[in-house]
């Protein structure tokens, strides 16, 4: 299903209102380029954040080039303690076949869940995975404003772990760590403050080891439940058919996103992402 879009004026007020109420906004035929896209997000967000596994194209924006395969629904950086509140994609060059971005309203998903599943996901789950040294160094460098990631030490990592509740680590091979994070799979800290099934249970692990998810009782989520959730989410999922110059701004703690398979060579598609914490009150 494709989403019928109305033409939006790119005033800050209209962007803000639609983003809060609808959970995402598409800007089309607005004559944006990478520089003006980056500037827009700098004005919108209180603080920009970055994925340590991605390549920057400007100080604010990063490449999205994780292969051509289909990507499951997820919130961005949803296995980290500080997932961005807002994410935005800019399509400089759109693929002629495939590559549609999928959008799933986690609030609608939550509303449709039976009471048994609402109860099952009422408590935080523990996300566990291995982080190699260069990944945890880059992430901590961004969080602690350390300019050179290679100078980040295990002491800095411990500082970061203690800053945010719900995190723990243990030493692992090659100076990496086993990382554990307690996180809510249903959250209400989105821009509209509504309960939303918004997480990474169905998501990819292109740049990282695939995480494991455990409930509060210690049991690991089953493949059957994952399959059921994927089916439920798909019924609330729509697509963006990208056009050159499009921008999609998304409430990352309400809407999950993914991607249909890219059916052209990757060099025939140029998509960039920008992420941020908090919306500036004066935007």
What pLDDT digit, counting tens, does each position of 14-40 carry?
999 999 999 999 999 999 999 999 999
> Any idea what the Cα angle at residue 239 is, between residues 106 and 114, rounded to 5°?
30
Pairing label, strands 270-279, 45-49: antiparallel
Question: What is the domain count for the chain?
Answer: 2
- Show which of 166, 183, 200 is a domain's final residue: 183
Whether residues 22 and 158 share a domain: the answer is no
Whose structure tokens read 């290679």?
A: 150
The per-residue pLDDT for 205 is 72
Q: Report yes or no on 101 lying in a domain.
A: yes
* Residue given tokens 């009471």 in the structure block: 115
Query: Domain of 265?
Result: 12-108+233-279
What's residue 207's pLDDT? 64
For CA atoms 44, 7, 111, 250, give the dihedral sign.
negative
53 with 23, same domain?
yes
Q: Does 103 lie in the same domain as 135?
A: no
Is 221 among the domain residues? no
Q: What is the pLDDT of residue 206?
A: 66
Q: How far apart are CA 64 and CA 271, in angstroms?
A: 6
Specify the pLDDT at position 10. 75
**Which pLDDT value is given to residue 65?**
80
96 pLDDT more than 50: yes
Domain membership flag for residue 211? no
Per-residue pLDDT, 57: 83
Same domain flag for 36 and 174: no
Is residue 113 a part of any domain in this protein?
A: no
Q: What pLDDT, on a 0 to 100 scale, did the predictor assign at position 51?
A: 78
Do 102 and 134 sit in the same domain of this protein?
Answer: no
Q: Are residues 103 and 130 in the same domain?
A: no
CB count within 10 Å of CB 110 equals: 22
| CA distance linking residue 243 with residue 8, whole number of Å | 15
Position 149 in a domain: yes
Same domain flag for 103 and 239: yes
Q: What is the mean pLDDT of residues 52-71?
A: 83
pTM over 0.85: yes
Q: Over 60: is that where the pLDDT of 9 sits?
A: no
Rg value, the chain, Cα: 18
Do residue 90 and residue 43 come from a single domain? yes
pLDDT score of 5? 42
pLDDT digits (tens, 9 = 90+) for 130-171: 999 999 998 899 889 899 999 999 999 999 999 999 999 999
């Amino acid at each position: 299903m494709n989403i019928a879009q109305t033409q939006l004026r790119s005033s800050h007020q209209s962007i803000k209102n639609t983003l809060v109420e609808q959970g995402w906004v598409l800007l089309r035929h607005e004559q944006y380029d990478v520089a003006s896209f980056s500037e827009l997000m700098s004005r919108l967000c209180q603080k920009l954040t970055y994925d340590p596994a991605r390549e920057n194209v400007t100080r604010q924006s990063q490449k999205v080039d994780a292969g051509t395969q289909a990507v499951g629904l997820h919130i961005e950086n949803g296995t980290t303690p500080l997932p961005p509140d807002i994410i935005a994609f800019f399509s400089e060059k759109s693929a002629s076949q495939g590559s549609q971005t999928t959008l799933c309203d986690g609030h609608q998903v939550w509303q449709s869940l039976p009471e048994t599943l609402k109860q099952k996901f009422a408590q935080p789950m523990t996300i566990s995975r291995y982080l190699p040294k260069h990944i945890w160094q880059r992430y901590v460098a961004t969080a602690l404003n350390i300019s050179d990631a290679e100078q980040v030490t295990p002491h800095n990592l411990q500082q970061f772990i203690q800053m945010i509740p719900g995190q723990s680590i243990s030493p692992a091979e090659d100076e990496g760590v086993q990382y554990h994070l307690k996180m809510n799979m249903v959250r209400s800290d989105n821009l509209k403050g509504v309960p939303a099934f918004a997480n990474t249970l169905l998501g990819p692990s292109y740049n990282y080891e695939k995480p494991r998810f455990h409930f509060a009782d210690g049991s690991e989520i089953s493949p059957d439940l994952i399959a059921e959730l994927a089916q439920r989410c798909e019924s609330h999922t729509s697509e963006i058919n990208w056009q050159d110059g499009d921008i999609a701004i998304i409430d990352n703690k309400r809407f999950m996103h993914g991607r249909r398979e890219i059916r052209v060579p990757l060099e025939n598609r140029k998509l960039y992402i920008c992420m941020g914490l908090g919306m500036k009150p004066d935007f």
